[in-house]
Amino acid sequence: MSQENTSSIIVVGKLGAPYGIKGWLKVHSFTDDPQGIFDFSPWLIGQQGKWQTLEVVDWRRHNKGFIAKFAQVNDRDEAMAYTHAEISMDAAQLPELPQGEFYWRDLIGMSVVTDKGYNLGIVDDLMETGSNDVLVVKANNKDAFGQAERLIPFLTDSVIKEVKHDAREITVDWDPGF
């Protein structure tokens, strides 16, 4: 199956080398809970911009990672064709989050405005630090404080005051000079 609209596709892992002779492949998971990648099936497997659906029929832990068996892959030669392919899923397969929780991808592109009304810019990226997540905010071209980028800790209550999904805006308690 070929997928034309790839805007809602999220890469969640990568296939590694074949394992054994019966079509198993090593799996590298990018999900927070590594074995959570197996909660989604079928997988969209991407190679050279082309997407194909593969159904995981079995999986297990192997050393520090995982191996998986697909319905359509029955020997080592067939498995070789999928080595290093991206494992993806449609965003619609993501579970609903509890109120007040967000997927990082939902925050990208949102405006960030101080509680006093100053527009700090747009969320360009997020970073994971040891203690908390950090919004990477690309400042507006004519930022009054001369900032090109701001790093704002994603601390609910103290810094992040409100995330308005529909308005695509995050209200923060933050000094625009930083």
Write out pLDDT tens, residues 123-140.
998 888 878 889 999 999
Tell me, what's the pLDDT at 5? Answer: 47
For the record, the structure tokens of 115 come out as: 């509680």
36 contacts 20 by C-beta, under 8 angstroms? no
Spatial distance between the Cα atoms of 144 and 111, rounded to a whole number of angstroms = 16
111 contacts 140 by C-beta, under 8 angstroms? no
The 8-class DSSP code of residue 18 comes to E
How many Cα atoms within 13 Å fall on the side-chain side of residue 168? Answer: 9
Q: Which stretches does DSSP call E strand in the chain?
A: 9-19, 24-29, 43-47, 50-54, 56-62, 65-70, 86-90, 111-114, 119-128, 133-138, 149-153, 160-164, 169-172
Summarised one tens digit per residue, pLDDT across range 17-42 is 999 999 999 999 988 788 889 988 78
% of residues, the chain, pLDDT over 90: 52
Summarised one tens digit per residue, pLDDT across range 58-107 is 999 998 899 999 998 999 999 999 999 999 887 777 777 777 777 777 88
pLDDT at 48 over 90: no
pTM: 0.59
Tell me, what's the pLDDT at 7? Answer: 57
Tell me, what's the pLDDT at 4? Answer: 43
